[in-house]
Structures are given as C-alpha cells and as structure tokens.
Amino acid sequence: MKQGSFSRQQVTAITGLTARQLSYWRKTGLVVPQHCTEGGHARYSFTDLIALRAAKQLLDANVSLQRIRRCLESLTRFLPTVQQPLVELSLVVTGDVVLVFHGERAFDALTGQQWVFPVAELAKEVEQLQQELPEQTELFPVDAEQLEEYA
C-alpha cells in the first residue's frame, strides 16, 4: 500500500477541505491521520486522502457529517472485515440515504439490514399468483357481474 505523507496544506489543496474541517474531524475521530510528527502535526497517508475525499463527496451530496458518522458505525458493525468503509466500499448516495454495494447485495448504510429489491418485472409473479388460485375458475367474470347489475 502506497503510504504517502501529506501535510495539512497539501491535503486542503488536494481534497478541497478546509483546515478547520481536518482538525475537527481529526479530533472527533472521523478521519484520523495515519501518522503524526513528533510535534503532533498531522501526516495523512494516501488512503487517508481517499477517505477524506469520499467524506467530502458525501458532504457535497448533502449527507450530513453526523449521518456519515452513523453510516461508518453501522458499516463497521455489519461488515466487520471492512476496515475503512470510506476507502474500501462502493457507496451510492441519494438525498437521504447512503447505499452500500457489497458483492451482489445492496443495502442501506445506516440501517444495514434493509434489503433492496426490484419492483418492476412482476408480471410473471402475478401470473404465478393467478395460477396458484384454484377457485379462480371464473372465465368470464364480467358477465356474472353484469347480470348482477340488472338485479
């Protein structure tokens, strides 16, 4: 893994984040620089950069920081093998929700257990349901109904 060692100034230039954000995120544990100088100055690795960039993209997509935090929490809970979700996973964002694509499955990064399923292409299913109904022997239901109308 290419490490790299980027100073704060470089990181702000590369990622578009402000220095304030970097230090706050560092303090609150969202993205902590992999190394530090003896003086306590941050040294971001290359993968740190990727995580930072991912977080910024999420922010730009109107996902709040707090939501990002919660997503990361649940992701590390649901996918324990994933060390750095922001780096390793393929995320998709829409207004409110962060989707995670992991293998075949896709699920909500927040709630985790949510399935995802296609709604259309139900014709076959409906046909099946039809055929599973033995009592549905009425071939001309309209006629029966029309008779009733005249009652």
Partner DNA sequence: AACGTACAATTTCCGGTTTTTTTGTCTCCT
Partner DNA sequence: AGGAGACAAAAAAACCGGAAATTGTACGTT
In the complex, the residues that contact DNA under the rule CB under 7 A are: 7-10, 18-28, 40-42, 59, 62, 64-67, 69, 145, 148
In this complex, which beta carbon is closest to DNA, that of residue 18 or of residue 114? 18
Q: CA torsion sign, 65 to 66 to 71 to 76?
A: positive
Q: Which does 115 bind (CB under 5 to 8 A by kind): DNA, a second copy, none?
A: a second copy
Q: Which residues bind a second copy (CB under 8 A)?
A: 5-7, 10, 13-15, 37-39, 41, 43, 46, 49-50, 53-54, 57-58, 61, 86-97, 99, 106-108, 110-111, 114-123, 125-126, 129-130, 133, 135-136, 138, 141-142, 145-146, 148-149
CB 114 within 8 A of CB 99: no
Q: Which does 105 bind (CB under 5 to 8 A by kind): a second copy, DNA, none?
A: none
CB of 127 to DNA, least distance (A): 20
CB 64 within 8 A of CB 29: no
In b/e form, how buried is each residue of 24-42, taking b as 16+ CB within 10 angstroms?
ebbeeebbebbeeeeeeeb
- Angle among Cα 99, 105, 106 to the nearest 5 degrees reads 15
